[in-house]
Structure 1
Amino acid sequence: MDFEIFISEKPQDGREITEIKGLPVFKPIQVHGSSVYFVGRGRKKPPHADALVTDNKGLWIGVLTADCLPVFLIGEGAVGIVHAGWRGTLKGVTFNAVNYMSRFTRVRRAILGVGICKACYEVGKDVKVKFPKEYERCFIPAGEGKFLFDLKEANRIQLKAAGVEVIADMGLCSVCNNDRFYSYRKEKTDKRTLSAIRIL
């Protein structure tokens, strides 16, 4: 299945993008949760959700990030997009999105977008202790009760657990590439990067 991905870059603020190439962009109200919402044909109000799925060729589905990880999901006749910060990851948002899509299509592959890399993402023990033991390898001790958290690996774990075999990584960190993308950690900004996908 053919699809197209769009990622906004500075100085453009992803929050202000309402259409790409003449097609509307559907964005959820993100709540760092695990809810998945299906975007069908009707015009709907933005849902409180952190993952979207659609089979509609007439629109883009997108999420806003400034360090959190966008995960693109490609199925047969459908696509998905996930907003995964540590809270959403803890709640299993990526696993839930694949599980939801798998009811009506096989998720052939996933692509990890622009998000904070493991070298830049320091968290406290308070975050580490919330995660079950299967995520142990995602935390590297950084001294003084701090850990470097591999958000991408944590989401890879969920993708594999949900049956996705092909997982690509764009290799773009929002902090390392702060000249191109917004990073809340680096610049405490309200502006966001828009990551969107559509079916061609």
Structure 2
Amino acid sequence: MKYEIFISEKPKDGREINEIKGIPVLKPIQVHGTNIVFVGRSVPFNLQADAIVTDSKNYWIGVLTADCLPVFLVGEGVVGVVHAGWRGTLKGIVFNTVKYISEFSAVKKAILGVSICSQCYEVGEDVYSLYPKEYSKCFKKLKNSKFLFDLKEANKIQLKAAGVHEIEDIKKCTVCNNDIFHSYRAEKTDKRILSAIRII
């Protein structure tokens, strides 16, 4: 199946991108939760979710981030995109979305988008203590009772657990590449990156 990915760059604000190449972009209202919304021939009235899935060629589907991880999922005749911050990751949003898509089609491939990298993402004991021990390799302890958190590695664990083994990584960090991408951590901006996918 052919698909296409779009990732916005500065100075564009992803919140203001409503169409790409003349095709409308559907963006859910994100709440750091586990809701998954499906868009088919018609668009649901309530798009409050942190993952969006479609089998339609009529739309791009996208999520907005400024350090959190966008995860693109590709099946047969269906694509999805997930907004995975530390809260959504803790709640298993990527694992759940793969399982949701698996009702229609096996997820063949996942692509990890542009997000904060493991060298830039510092979290406290409060976040570290919430994660079960299978995620321990995603944390690196610092001297000041802080931890570096590898958000991508945490989501790779979920993808593999859900049966996805082809995982591509767009190795770009929002903080290291803050000249190109919006980053809340680096600049306290309210602007966002749009990460979108469509079926061609």
Seq. identity, %:
69
How far apart are residue 43 of structure 1 and its match?
3.2
Given the two structures, how large is their TM-score scaled by the length of structure 1?
Answer: 0.99
How far apart are residue 44 of structure 1 and its match?
3.1
* Correspondence for 2:190: 190
How far apart are residue 46 of structure 1 and its match?
4.6
* Correspondence for 1:162: 162
Give the SS at the match of 1:136.
helix
Find the aligned partners of 2:133 and 2:84 in 1 and give their Cα distance: 19
* Correspondence for 1:15: 15
* Correspondence for 1:199: 199
CA spacing shift, 1:60–1:46, aligned 2, 3 Å: farther
Give yes or no for contact 1:74–1:108 (8 Å, CA) kept in 2: yes
Give yes or no for contact 1:26–1:46 (8 Å, CA) kept in 2: no
How far apart are residue 156 of structure 1 and its match?
0.2
Give the counterpart letter for 1:57 in structure 2. K
How far apart are residue 34 of structure 1 and its match?
1.1
How far apart are residue 5 of structure 1 and its match?
0.2
Structure 1 stretches of at least 4 aligned residues deviating more than 6 Å after TM superposition: none
Give the counterpart letter for 1:199 in structure 2. I
How far apart are residue 45 of structure 1 and its match?
3.1
How far apart are residue 142 of structure 1 and its match?
1.2
Give yes or no for contact 1:114–1:171 (8 Å, CA) kept in 2: yes
Find the aligned partners of 1:69 and 1:81 in 2 and give their Cα distance: 10
Find the aligned partners of 2:2 and 2:152 in 1 and give their Cα distance: 25
* Correspondence for 2:63: 63
* Correspondence for 1:34: 34
Greater shift, 42-51 or 97-106, is seen at: 42-51
Give yes or no for contact 1:25–1:62 (8 Å, CA) kept in 2: yes
Give the counterpart letter for 2:138 in structure 1. C
Find the aligned partners of 1:60 and 1:41 in 2 and give their Cα distance: 13
* Correspondence for 1:4: 4
1:81 corresponds to 2:42: no
Consecutive unaligned residues in structure 1, runs of 5 or more: none
1:140 corresponds to 2:177: no
Greater shift, 138-147 or 45-54, is seen at: 45-54
Greater shift, 147-156 or 46-55, is seen at: 46-55
- The count of corresponding residues between Structure 1 and Structure 2 is 200
